[in-house]
């Protein structure tokens, strides 16, 4: 596509357009689709002219010319000229009224990655701030990453750190992702699902965390449509059918509310709203409801002109309809982490139907929709917005703290994702300062949120003035105080119960940075505690130490203790090994008069969660244990614990040969979310059957890791297909197998433990 640039000699008029249709060469105008070329530039110009000066528009015009020239001849997968994408991204940013530097970065965001434009050239043309924004938005071109996942994690790390320095980076990136999601239909199905899953896991939570609720909801629904198209279409069809039935009900509620508020002298704008498709789907799934059971598909938003009238309007609504107990939330007094403020109440409307109301001021409504982007709209430093900016700054600063403590990109992304969960609890310091934490956070998370030094030296907590362990889970309204001691230090077992990314990264950083002497001391203490729990002496005899060192391949007992102290070995497994060596030593010292009878000991099983490091715990490939299975563990000579199901045939044979190396294992109360499991499906060899099976497995909320066919195991016209799938537990597996069994052409299905 020829560049659609303005004549450089033309003098810019006040709020002049970037490129008017008449300024395009005839050939360009003929070749550019109207909706992505001329029209989009005109729309962008008109939107920018609402709030920018002529000087700002001129710099943006220059950026547009340069981007158009750089992307000359480049087309998108859809066939549209590539320049249509930067224009669309800039237009989304203009809806948030971002400044000229951000709009220029939106227009230029792909020139470094796609056209090899150097940062120095951008600095010379457009200045250092714009060049830094574009650099933060550009992907990495390094090739030394060992996997796509590692490469992607490094991309996210770079983007988030750039965002921590300038929040405009993520705003432009979110606009970029939104337009890509809107035009994702041109991609292959595999790429659509990958991009949609990435959007749901990373970009949707970031949008929510920054308070960009309109963007958050649209990205959710677009991701849902590409991840689960059949479910999305089914729910959309059900909503269309339900609209006619509920129109009369919605109209009746709307008129009643308007009349009641008017009688009370409250001026308010009232609008009905519909839950998003993904919101309905999530509620159906989480609460195991059918669509007909989700009654509050519709809700109402009441916008008033002052803070006080929010509560007056609430009283009017509660007098009009009866409130549902436990369904009132005051996010005005205690805003959400992203600055969102509103009153939420659910009332029993006509015909006994639950109806949700949200009550807020116009300023609160704007922040609710635009979040941190509202900073560019309101030039006066409104108190609520200042608080929002402080909250956002604190979170962005925490990203830098995590980066300083974490060297691995994948680990950094893991910590950040933990902090992006929307659910939160609100607790108080002894001085009544409100602290927001993710749901499930503990007193130790609270300590690290206050300050890393307090977390590192925490010894206990007081919750509501009562002593409590550091691992105690916090609830809304708790008053929390932390007791510290200079002698206290983080231990590896803290990682098993902290919830926030900041706490987890700080603990890991401390453990990694401990000098060898400290690590040995911590390891000795943990091993001593593990031995005492097995009713063994806390100290290990020198002869047993020598045998342990020989069995494990370590150079010395100090190495073993250092590994325990830094989390590379599990103290409970080392203690079990020592127990076996001591029993063998006692048995070998039996006198000719008869064998030595060892006292019976009550041995607690080792608990596992699936979150242990791969260097210390592995799940056997022969039987692929999942939560709900009875377990048995084989303690190898290198201290690796290999976990089998208790009925595994290979485990039975191995246990019969060497019973001393087998220990009891059980599942922890909380475990990892997904485990690999194999299923064998005997099917009729029909056209399209594999696609139907894959769709049913996907509909059962399971991911296919591997699929294969055993040609050597045919039974007449039947063929055996083998799938490795990811499930949560035995209940999830049973549901998946039940659903697969209903697929036409399936003769038999069973779990494969061979």
- Burial class of 613 by CB neighbour count within 10 A (0 to 12, 13 to 18, 19+): exposed
Mean pLDDT for the stretch of residues 668-692: 85
- What sections of 264-361 are H helices per DSSP? 277-287, 307-320
- Does 1 or 544 have the greater pLDDT score? 544
Q: How far is residue 407's CA from residue 263's CA, in Å, rounded to a whole number? A: 62
Residue 737 pLDDT exceeds 90: yes
* 8 Å CB contact between 570 and 643: no
Q: Looking at the structure, do residues 651 and 699 belong to the same domain, yes or no?
A: no
* 8 Å CB contact between 264 and 256: no
Paired residues of 435 in beta bridges: 427
- Does 146 or 476 have the greater pLDDT score? 476
Q: How far is residue 568's CA from residue 296's CA, in Å, rounded to a whole number? A: 50
Residue 552 pLDDT exceeds 80: no
Q: Is residue 402 part of a domain?
A: no
195-223 tens-digit pLDDT = 898 888 778 877 877 778 888 889 999 99
Predicted local confidence at residue 1, as pLDDT: 37
Residue 699: active-site member: no
Q: Looking at the structure, do residues 541 and 663 belong to the same domain, yes or no?
A: yes
Residues 6+ apart with CB under 8 A from 198: 152
Q: How far is residue 86's CA from residue 70's CA, in Å, rounded to a whole number? A: 12
Residue 379 pLDDT exceeds 60: no
Residue 654 pLDDT exceeds 60: yes
Q: How far is residue 662's CA from residue 652's CA, in Å, rounded to a whole number? A: 10
From the candidates 113, 551, 664, 701, which is the catalytic residue? 113
- Does 15 or 700 have the greater pLDDT score? 700
CA angle in degrees (0–180, nearest 5) for 722-725-726: 165
* 8 Å CB contact between 661 and 577: no
Residue 108 sits in a domain of what CATH number?
A: 1.10.3210.10
Cβ atoms within 10 Å, residue 735: 15
The residue behind tokens 């060992």 is 146
295-342 tens-digit pLDDT = 556 688 899 988 888 999 999 999 888 888 878 888 888 777 667 789
Q: How far is residue 204's CA from residue 421's CA, in Å, rounded to a whole number? A: 10
Paired residues of 360 in beta bridges: 303
Predicted local confidence at residue 299, as pLDDT: 80
The residue behind tokens 């990314």 is 501
The residue behind tokens 């105080």 is 481
* 8 Å CB contact between 388 and 367: yes
* 8 Å CB contact between 684 and 692: no
Residue 32 binned pLDDT confidence (cut-offs 50, 70, 90): very low
Predicted local confidence at residue 613, as pLDDT: 64
Residue 445 sits in a domain of what CATH number?
A: 3.10.20.30
Predicted local confidence at residue 247, as pLDDT: 67
Q: How far is residue 563's CA from residue 244's CA, in Å, rounded to a whole number? A: 66
616-649 tens-digit pLDDT = 678 888 899 999 999 988 877 656 778 999 888 8
Q: Looking at the structure, do residues 77 and 163 belong to the same domain, yes or no?
A: yes
Q: How far is residue 450's CA from residue 504's CA, in Å, rounded to a whole number? A: 14
Residue 114: active-site member: yes
127: alpha, beta or left, given left = phi > 0 and alpha = psi -120 to 50? left
DSSP assigned state of 565? H
* 8 Å CB contact between 727 and 678: no
Residue 279 sits in a domain of what CATH number?
A: 3.30.460.10
- Which of 488, 383, 398 lies closest to 436, judged by CA? 398
Residue 39 pLDDT exceeds 80: no
Residue 21 pLDDT exceeds 50: no
How far does CA 276 lie from the centroid of its chain? 19
Structure tokens at 450: 């206050």
Q: Looking at the structure, do residues 370 and 351 belong to the same domain, yes or no?
A: yes
Predicted local confidence at residue 44, as pLDDT: 86
The residue behind tokens 């008069």 is 593
Q: How far is residue 279's CA from residue 224's CA, in Å, rounded to a whole number? A: 10
Q: Is the pTM of this model over 0.75?
A: no
Q: Looking at the structure, do residues 640 and 711 belong to the same domain, yes or no?
A: no
117 SS3 class: coil
Domain boundary among 320, 343, 377: 377
Q: Is residue 299 part of a domain?
A: yes
Predicted local confidence at residue 208, as pLDDT: 78
Residue 23 pLDDT exceeds 60: no
How far does CA 128 lie from the centroid of its chain? 33
Predicted local confidence at residue 201, as pLDDT: 78
Mean pLDDT for the stretch of residues 253-272: 87
* 8 Å CB contact between 720 and 679: no
Q: Is residue 405 part of a domain?
A: no
Q: Is residue 394 part of a domain?
A: no
Q: Looking at the structure, do residues 240 and 352 belong to the same domain, yes or no?
A: yes
How far does CA 689 lie from the centroid of its chain? 34
From the candidates 114, 330, 483, 729, which is the catalytic residue? 114
67-102 tens-digit pLDDT = 988 888 888 888 888 888 999 999 998 888 888 999
Structure tokens at 442: 């503990």
Q: Looking at the structure, do residues 199 and 135 belong to the same domain, yes or no?
A: yes
Q: Looking at the structure, do residues 30 and 152 belong to the same domain, yes or no?
A: yes
Predicted local confidence at residue 9, as pLDDT: 33
Cβ atoms within 10 Å, residue 465: 8
* 8 Å CB contact between 115 and 70: yes
* 8 Å CB contact between 748 and 715: no
124: alpha, beta or left, given left = phi > 0 and alpha = psi -120 to 50? alpha
- Does 229 or 404 have the greater pLDDT score? 229
Q: How far is residue 565's CA from residue 560's CA, in Å, rounded to a whole number? A: 9
Each residue of 496-525: b (16+ CB within 10 Å) or e?
ebbbbbbbbbbbbbbbeebeeebbbebbbb
Q: Looking at the structure, do residues 485 and 576 belong to the same domain, yes or no?
A: no
Predicted local confidence at residue 6, as pLDDT: 34
123-145 tens-digit pLDDT = 998 998 898 888 877 754 433 33
Residues 6+ apart with CB under 8 A from 73: 1
DSSP assigned state of 752? -
Work out the percent of the chain whose per-residue pLDDT is above 70.
76
The total number of structural domains in the chain stands at 5
Predicted local confidence at residue 304, as pLDDT: 92
- Does 321 or 601 have the greater pLDDT score? 321
Predicted local confidence at residue 107, as pLDDT: 92
Q: Calculate the average pLDDT of the chain.
A: 77
φ/ψ of residue 490, rounded to 5: -60, 150
605 SS3 class: coil
Domain, as residue range, for 543: 516-588+604-667
488-541 tens-digit pLDDT = 888 877 887 888 877 887 887 787 666 567 678 777 877 887 788 777 887 888
Predicted local confidence at residue 389, as pLDDT: 56
Domain boundary among 667, 697, 712: 667
Structure tokens at 643: 């976990």
Residues 6+ apart with CB under 8 A from 252: 350
Residue 161 pLDDT exceeds 90: no
Residue 25 pLDDT exceeds 90: no
727 SS3 class: strand
Q: How far is residue 754's CA from residue 749's CA, in Å, rounded to a whole number? A: 14
Q: Is residue 499 part of a domain?
A: no
Q: Looking at the structure, do residues 528 and 465 belong to the same domain, yes or no?
A: no
Q: Is residue 390 part of a domain?
A: no
Q: Is residue 567 part of a domain?
A: yes
* Biggest distance spanned by C-alpha atoms of the chain: 112
Q: How far is residue 680's CA from residue 750's CA, in Å, rounded to a whole number? A: 5
HEC assignment per residue over 26-78: HHHHHHCCCCCCHHHHHHHHHHHHCCCCHHHHHHHHHHHHHHHHHCCCCECCC
Residue 674 pLDDT exceeds 60: yes
- How many angstroms separate the Cα of 719 from the Cα of each of 127, 688, 707, 722? 65, 14, 13, 10
- Which of 191, 200, 228 lies closest to 700, judged by CA? 228
Q: Looking at the structure, do residues 613 and 649 belong to the same domain, yes or no?
A: yes
Predicted local confidence at residue 509, as pLDDT: 77
Structure tokens at 588: 């070998």
Q: Is residue 401 part of a domain?
A: no
* 8 Å CB contact between 483 and 460: yes
Residue 746 sits in a domain of what CATH number?
A: 3.30.70.260
Structure tokens at 232: 């999305």
567-591 tens-digit pLDDT = 677 777 788 788 878 877 777 765 5
Q: Looking at the structure, do residues 645 and 747 belong to the same domain, yes or no?
A: no
Q: How far is residue 233's CA from residue 231's CA, in Å, rounded to a whole number? A: 6
């Amino acid at each position: 596509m020829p560049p659609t640039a303005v004549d450089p000699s033309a003098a810019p008029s006040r709020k002049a357009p970037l490129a008017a249709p008449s300024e395009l060469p005839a050939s360009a105008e003929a070749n550019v689709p109207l909706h992505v070329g001329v029209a989009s530039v005109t729309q962008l110009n008109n939107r920018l002219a609402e709030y920018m000066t002529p000087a700002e528009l001129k710099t943006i015009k220059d950026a547009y010319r340069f981007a158009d020239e750089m992307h000359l001849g480049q087309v998108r997968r859809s066939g549209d000229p590539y320049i249509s994408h930067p224009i669309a991204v800039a237009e989304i940013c203009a809806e948030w009224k971002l400044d000229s530097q951000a709009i220029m970065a939106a227009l230029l965001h792909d020139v470094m990655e796609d056209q090899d434009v150097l940062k120095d050239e951008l600095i010379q043309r457009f200045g250092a701030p714009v060049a830094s924004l574009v650099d933060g938005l550009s992907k990495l071109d390094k090739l030394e990453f060992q996997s796509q996942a590692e490469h992607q994690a490094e991309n996210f790390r770079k983007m988030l750190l750039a965002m921590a320095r300038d929040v405009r980076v993520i705003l432009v990136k979110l606009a970029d992702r939104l337009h890509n999601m809107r035009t994702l239909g041109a991609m292959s199905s595999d790429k659509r699902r990958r991009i949609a899953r990435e959007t749901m896991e990373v970009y949707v939570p970031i949008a929510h965390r920054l308070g960009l609720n309109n963007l958050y909801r649209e990205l959710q629904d677009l991701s849902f449509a590409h991840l689960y198209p059949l479910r999305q279409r089914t729910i959309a069809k059900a909503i269309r059918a339900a609209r006619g039935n509920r129109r009369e009900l919605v109209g009746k509620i709307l008129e009643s509310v308007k009349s009641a508020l008017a009688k009370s002298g409250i001026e308010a704008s009232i609008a009905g709203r519909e839950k998003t498709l993904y919101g309905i789907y999530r509620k159906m799934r989480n609460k195991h409801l059918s669509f007909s059971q989700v009654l509050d598909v519709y809700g109402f938003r009441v916008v008033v002109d002052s803070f006080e009238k929010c509560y007056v309007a609430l009283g009017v609504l509660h007098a009009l309809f009866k409130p549902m107990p436990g369904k009132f939330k005051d996010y005005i007094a205690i805003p959400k982490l992203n600055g969102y403020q509103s009153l939420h109440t659910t009332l029993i409307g006509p015909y006994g139907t639950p109806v949700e109301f949200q009550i807020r001021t116009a300023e609160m409504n704007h922040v609710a929709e635009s979040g941190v982007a509202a900073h560019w709209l309101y030039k006066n430093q409104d108190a609520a917005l200042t608080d929002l900016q402080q909250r956002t700054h604190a979170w962005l600063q925490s990203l830098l703290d995590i980066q300083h403590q974490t060297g691995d990109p994948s680990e950094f992304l893991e910590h950040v994702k933990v902090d992006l969960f929307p659910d939160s609890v609100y607790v108080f310091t002894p001085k009544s300062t409100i602290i927001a934490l993710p749901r499930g956070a503990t007193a130790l998370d609270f300590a690290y949120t206050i300050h890393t030094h307090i977390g590192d030296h925490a010894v206990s907590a007081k919750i509501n003035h009562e002593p409590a362990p550091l691992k105690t889970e916090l609830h809304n309204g708790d008053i929390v105080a932390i007791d510290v001691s200079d002698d206290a230090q983080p231990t590896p077992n803290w990682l098993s119960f902290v919830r926030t990314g900041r706490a987890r990264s700080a603990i890991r950083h401390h453990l990694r940075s401990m000098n060898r002497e400290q690590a040995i001391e911590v390891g000795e203490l943990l091993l001593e505690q593990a031995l005492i729990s097995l009713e063994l002496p806390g100290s290990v005899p020198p002869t047993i130490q020598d045998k342990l060192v020989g069995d494990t391949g370590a150079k010395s007992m100090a190495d073993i203790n250092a590994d325990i102290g830094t989390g590379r070995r599990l103290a409970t497994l080392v203690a079990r090994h020592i127990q076996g060596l001591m029993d063998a030593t006692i048995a070998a010292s039996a006198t000719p008069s008869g064998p030595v009878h060892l006292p019976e000991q009550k041995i607690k099983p080792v608990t596992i969660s699936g979150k242990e490091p791969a260097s210390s715990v592995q799940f056997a490939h022969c039987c692929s244990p999942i939560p709900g299975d009875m377990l048995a563990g084989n303690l190898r000579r290198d201290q690796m614990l290999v976990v089998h199901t208790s009925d595994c045939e290979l485990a039975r044979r191995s246990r019969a040969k060497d019973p001393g190396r087998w220990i009891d294992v059980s599942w922890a109360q909380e475990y990892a979310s997904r485990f690999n499991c194999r299923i064998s499906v005997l099917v009729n060899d029909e056209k399209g059957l594999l696609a139907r099976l894959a769709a049913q497995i996907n509909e059962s909320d399971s991911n296919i890791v591997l699929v294969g066919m055993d040609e050597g195991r045919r039974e007449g016209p039947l063929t055996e297909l083998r799938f490795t799938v990811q499930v949560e537990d035995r209940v999830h597996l049973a549901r998946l197998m039940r659903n697969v069994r209903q697929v036409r052409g399936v003769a038999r299905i069973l779990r494969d433990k061979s």
